[in-house]
Structure 1
């Protein structure tokens, strides 16, 4: 039975690393989300007619964070120190910065700058990953659509208030 040990260890290492990516991204996103829940300030803002109800954000972000995790993990397995992985890291930093800027500091203008940069970095990740790993690039497409919508929402809130 020679050769059975290492492949099993490699298999476990791969999927333990996936679990770590999910814990980092989903856990980090949930912690930041809970720390910066919409409060009376947000409730008092004039909102555009397309503003979704608050309950939509939790399930949407949970799904998106899983997709972000899988794309990041796949990129890390393929090229842990490559440009695409650095772009993935940059989007995560911007993603995690938006809620504290918008909800925590109540600074809609700077939050709009953060989310515009985030959308640009997401699109850069899709373009960078597309030819190397189309699945990773594809996993970011719903994320790009949601962040484009969130950018419009942030801009609308800034305009209306």
Structure 2
């Protein structure tokens, strides 16, 4: 893995984490505290732990995939991968803004669903470039699937 590639993917995921965390500070807001939440919602302390691990996973596995595609000379596939990664990170950061800042659980659920599709696609693309990296990224679409269900249930409970 090239240092420049991993620094780029780390910068991209760290920027996404920062953007999302700015909006997520509203977990202490009156609006959020008053929301009815499902019994299966993890404790608040779990979210930063899970997301930190996932962002590190995205950064490393994406760097591996990008370098692998570069070494193969798969220029178009590499460009498409980078586009898929950017799209994924935009969706990732957008969810917090729609949910926490926008106070819009239904649209946030739609963003989460798009993020899940994007995460599964990113894991597929990663596995195509490097099967081990793709396997390492598999928890990401699993978590975003769970997040979609959680968002949907919160939306349903708070109509």
Instruction: Tell me the TM-score range normalised by the shorter chain.
Output: 0.7 to 0.9
Number of residue-to-residue matches in the alignment: 149
User: Greater CA deviation, 27-36 or 95-104?
Assistant: 27-36
Computing the radius of gyration over CA atoms, which structure comes out larger, 1 or 2? Answer: 1
Partner of 1:91: 88
For 2:57 and 2:148, the matched residues in 1 are separated by: 19
Deviation at 1:113, TM superposition (A): 0.9
Q: Moved runs in structure 1, 4+ residues, more than 6 A?
A: none
Q: TM-score, normalised by structure 1?
A: 0.83
2: distance between equivalents of 1:160 and 1:113? 16
Unaligned runs of 5+ in 1: 1-10
1:4 aligned partner:
none
Q: 1:83 to 1:23 in 2, by over 3 A?
A: closer
Return 5+ residue gaps in structure 2 as ranges: 71-77
1:2-151 aligned within 5 A? 14-37=2-25, 38=27, 39-79=29-69, 81-151=78-148
SS in structure 1 of the partner of residue 129 of structure 2:
coil
Deviations 1:101-157 (A, max 9, x none): 111111111111111011011111222232321123123211111111111100000
Once residues 35 and 157 of structure 1 are traced to their aligned partners in structure 2, the CA distance between those partners, rounded to angstroms, is 18
1:16–1:85: structure 2 CA closer, same or farther, 3 Å change rule? Answer: closer
TM-score, reference length from structure 2? 0.84
